[in-house]
Amino acid sequence: MKYATTYFDDVKVGDELPPLVKGPLHQIQLTRYAGASGDFNPIHQDHEFAKAAGMDDVFAHGMLSMGFVGQLVTDWAGAGNVRKLGVRFAGIVRLKDTITCRGRVLAKSGKDLVDLEIWAENQRGEKVVTGKATVAIPPRG
């Protein structure tokens, strides 16, 4: 079930988050993300600009992939429960790529804090984003 309520008591170290599949990515989504985020770097929009910059083609904003990973976390933990979300952009996301976001519970602490390992990979299984998140999940009752 999407947006399922997760309770702190029920979370176990090693639990995996339900994967989130995004894409295949098309230019229109990069253009839409540029408008929504305010990042108008032409390297994400203009093939000629990207070629002149030494890239094969335009590629996705890293922040779009981080947005996907953020959705993975909020789908599981609840929309307002993210306390920390940090990633490294490990690889370029290209047009037509399909991105699968995954996560796993690393640790529990305090009365409601859960640390997660999070990552995203392309259709070839190459990691394009790696990172960690901390969420505050309400205890049962």
Partner 1 sequence: MAHHINTGVIGKEFPPFVVTIERGKIKEFARAIGDDNPFFLDDRVGQASEWGDIIAPPTFMTTFREAAGDGGDFLRELGTDISRLLHGEQEFEMHRPIRPGETFVCRSKVTDVYEKTGRSGPMGFVVRETAVTDRANEIVATIRSVTVVRL
Binding span for partner 1 by CB under 8 A among 9-17, 28-36, 109-117, 119-127? 28-36
Contact 1, 132 (CB under 8 A): no
70: contact with partner 1 by CB under 8 A: yes
Distance CA 85, CA 106 (A): 14
Distance CA 41, CA 25 (A): 18
Site for partner 1 in 43-62 (CB under 8 A): 43, 49, 52-54, 61-62
Contact 132, 66 (CB under 8 A): no
38: contact with partner 1 by CB under 8 A: yes
Distance CA 73, CA 70 (A): 5
79: contact with partner 1 by CB under 8 A: yes
Question: Which residue ranges make up the site for partner 1 (CB under 8 A)?
Answer: 3, 22, 29, 32-33, 35-39, 41-43, 49, 52-54, 61-64, 66-68, 70-71, 73-75, 79-80, 82-89
